[in-house]
Chain A
Amino acid sequence: MRLAEACRYVRSKNAGPFWITVDLFFPDRAAYDRYVDAAALQPERIAALFGIAAEEVKRFPVPELQVLKISYPRQRPQGGALERDMHGGQQYVRLLDLEV
């Protein structure tokens, strides 16, 4: 299943000028339990997707909210000459097609 179908809502946002954070909201506890440890959501896969090192990816499972939070450092600090997404608000989109 695509992540877009497994989640009810996925968002990304700045967490300060040097980090992006992504929140994956699953629709219920069963879906959360089924997908939270999916291979596609492991640091190696996330790192490859965003062009960073796997050891820099942080994962925070939040079972009470049925949320998996993933944070990773930006390749460049926010707002420089080559910025394409100032608030990081569109960075989640490339996760949507991941098969989980």
Chain B
Amino acid sequence: MPPPITGTVNVLVPTGALGAGIQEADVLAGLADAHAIACDAGSTDSGPAYLATGRCKYSRAAVKTDFAVLLRAQAKARIPLLIGSCGTSGSDAALDWMRDVALEVCAEQGLSPRIALLYSEQAPQLVAQRARQGRVKPLPPMRDADPALFEQCDHIVALMGPEPYVAALEAGADIVLGGRTTDTAVLAAVPLMRGMGAGAAWHAGKTAECGGLCAVSPREGGVMVRVGRDDFVVEPLRASNRCTPYTISSHMLYENSDPFQLHEPGGVLDVTQARYEAIDERRVRVTGSRFEAKPYTMKLEGASAGQYQTVMLVGIQDPKVLANLPRFLGQMHEALIRRVNEAMGASAGAFDISLRPYGYNAVSGEVDPQQPPPREVGLLFVATAATQELATQIAKTCNPWFFHMPLDREAELPSYAFPFSPAEIERGAVYEFHLNHVVQVEHPLELVRTVFVQGGSHASR
């Protein structure tokens, strides 16, 4: 049995995202040693819709089930529980949604923790004002910080660092539910608060951001990070799982455009000199991580609803069509645009029709001349227009042509295979990300509002 690791601040990271699934046994396995439980509950990874609408990607039941495990663990061990980027986007509405789920669990289980809520959503007009003052900078590939960009966002969130979490814990919070926060900061907060090394704390946070993804079996539970002054150790919660120097160091590649330098609020984590060493079959020690302090900035994320889409799908098995797909698709696209212009005229507004043959080149958009035609394709029709009604009217106008378009004008009319009635499916709004910027702040809590609520009582803002 290897000797215990002492003098560290240990953070139990139960999952890569609250709502993705947590096994209570994994959490209990690490609880005796843990000084904090931390994970996040959000990301931009699944696209702009979650920020633009404030809705959570995961189901309420999934989030509640995970919450129940963590709230019980928090009550049992009496250690801080930190959740970042609540409700996927970390917008105010998403945080309130998760607050209500947490309070429901508290009421059902008779728990009464003191809960801090960290709000970091920003009014678009106020961000535009800061942009006019020159306090907002673009990040590549963006080149400017035009105030209009901020005003067109429905929701803007600023990514918090660890400081608001630390302040909330110092003010007596048992649980901190955060709006949008860097994944890393949520995990680094307690080690930083308790005086551990900044390089080690931030690098440990980065390593454990996706829970078990830095272990050999990513789906087998979460991990524990033990953060010291100059090093940290990573260990999976489940006895059957392992971390190796390879799995730990290669995690720096994941979802980062730069594997060596990570920009965080208040500085840059530099892992160029980091060394990864196995201390036994399951645990890895990391040394040499550095954190260089920089003027404090917070990254901004902003999204809005733009146009609307209506889609239709047909299956095509006609061998002649499949042997001539590029020509067929070109002719069809032209005919559909012409038909909408004839039937709807200017009333259609600025619209787009996209034909995406799944099974052929829908994902790449490129034709491979070496490949034989497939046996069938699913042809997706996507109409994009200013309103849902217009998008649907465009789809309905195109429907007979989409249904019966022959390869050659003189041929008899085919009927392609529709799977649904009605044929048209209203997809709702199309959402867009608009921002890749940072805002300069005087201090880390400047753009953050903290509200306390008590589990076991009704909360309102």
Contacts and interface: CB of A to CB of B under 8 A. Distances in A.
Q: Are the chains A and B members of one assembly?
A: yes
Given A79-B432, A84-B365, A94-B364, A71 B48 contact: no
14 contacts: A15-B257, A17-B48, A23-B253, A56-B141, A60-B260, A65-B249, A65-B253, A77-B48, A78-B48, A79-B49, A80-B306, A81-B309, A84-B365, A87-B46
Contacts of B447: none
A25 to B, nearest CB: 8
Contacts of B258: 58, 60, 71
A82 interface: yes
A85 B364 CA distance: 9
Nearest to A75: B141
Interface string A20-38: 0101000000000000000
A13 B254 contact: yes
Contacts of A85: 363
A64 B249 contact: yes
Interface string A71-100: 101000111111111110010011000000
B259 A18 contact: no
Nearest to A79: B47
Contact of A62 (B253, B301, B434): B253
Interface residues of A, number: 33
Interface bin, chain B: 35 or more
A81 B253 contact: no
B142 interface: yes
Given A17-B47, A81-B384, A82-B354, 20 more contacts: A17-B301, A17-B436, A21-B253, A64-B249, A65-B246, A67-B253, A69-B253, A71-B257, A78-B47, A79-B48, A80-B48, A81-B309, A81-B352, A82-B352, A83-B47, A84-B365, A86-B47, A87-B45, A90-B363, A90-B364
B366 interface: yes
Interface of B: 44-49, 140-142, 246, 249-250, 253-260, 301, 306-307, 309, 352, 354, 356, 362-366, 382, 384, 430-434, 436
Contacts of A78: 44, 47-48, 433
A86 B50 CA distance: 13
Contacts of A73: 140-141
A93 B361 CA distance: 12
Given A23-B253, A71-B257, A80-B432, A14 B363 contact: no
A100 to B, nearest CB: 19
Contacts of A13: 254-255
Given A78-B47, A81-B430, A18 B436 contact: yes
B44 A16 contact: yes
Nearest to A52: B141
A52 to B, nearest CB: 9
A93 B141 contact: no
A99 B297 CA distance: 43
Contacts of A83: 47
B24 to A, nearest CB: 30
Among A60, A79, A82, A87, the one with the most B-chain Cβ atoms within 10 Å of its Cβ is: A79
Contacts of A80: 48, 306, 430, 432-433
A12 to B, nearest CB: 11
A16 B257 contact: yes
A84 B433 CA distance: 15
A21 B45 contact: no
Contacts of A69: 253, 259
Contacts of B257: 15-16, 19, 21, 58, 71
Given A80-B430, A81-B307, A16 B366 contact: no
Given A73-B140, A81-B306, A84-B365, A14 B45 contact: yes
Contacts of B430: 80-81
Contact of A15 (B246, B256, B366): B256
B162 to A, nearest CB: 20
Contacts of A84: 356, 362-365
